[in-house]
Amino acid sequence: MWRIIRSPIATLKLAEKDALEPGKALFDELVSPPIFLLLTLILVHSVELVTVGESEIVTNTQGFSGLISSDTALIIFRILTFAVLPLAAAVRLLRLRGIKLGKESLRAPFYAQCYVTGLFALMWDVASLFAAERFSLPVAVYFSLLALSLLWLLVVEARWFAVEAKGSLAVGFGNAAIMIGQWLLLVAMTVMLLR
């Protein structure tokens, strides 16, 4: 976690390099990226159970919440929701590079992006925890925390796209904004369809 906070681009490059080196033991220096994302989401969920209790999504039987009737289902939903983000970033990068999409070509950038997504998911879910009635913080604080997590993600992704696609920072911001926008739209559409 500290590596991605301190030097996100260097961590992304190291993860992508590790995933691309044949015959090398993968991720000797780091936790496997998908495992990192999974553990982060489980940790946040555990903190939520301890501090707030069972999520309103689990206890509510109306609309979308009615489909998620257990903590296990909620964790699976969160994993699926956040796993789409590194996949979207990897697809966008391969398209920028002009590389054909495939399981092997997607693996390295997807793995790298799991680290960024893990920290983003942590920030996003912590913001959501503060929205709980128990903390009774103003709605503005909740939305400010969500906005800060999105801004952090946008800056890191913009820098990554600029470096990896060998383009300007403006091109990086454009690609990052499109990718994040696509993810947010997909999440919103999923929630609306399940209501």
Nearest-angstrom CA–CA distance, 12 and 14: 5
pLDDT tens for 114-138 read 999 999 999 988 887 777 666 667 7
Q: Which domain holds residue 62?
A: 2-193
Cα–Cα distance for residue pair 170/168, rounded to 1 Å: 5
Which residues of the chain fall below pLDDT 50?
none
pLDDT confidence of residue 1:
79
What's the confidence (pLDDT) of residue 56?
63
Q: What is the pTM of this model?
A: 0.82
User: Which pLDDT value is given to residue 146?
Assistant: 87
The set of long-range contacts for 58-65, using a CB threshold of 8 Å and a minimum separation of 24, is 63/194, 63/195, 64/191, 64/194, 64/195
- Check residue 47 and give its pLDDT: 83
Domain count, the chain: 1
Q: What angle do CA 128, 133, 138 make, to 5 degrees?
A: 70
Which distant-in-sequence residues (6+ apart) come within 8 Å of 128 by Cβ?
A: 142, 146
The structure tokens listed for 27 are 């991720």
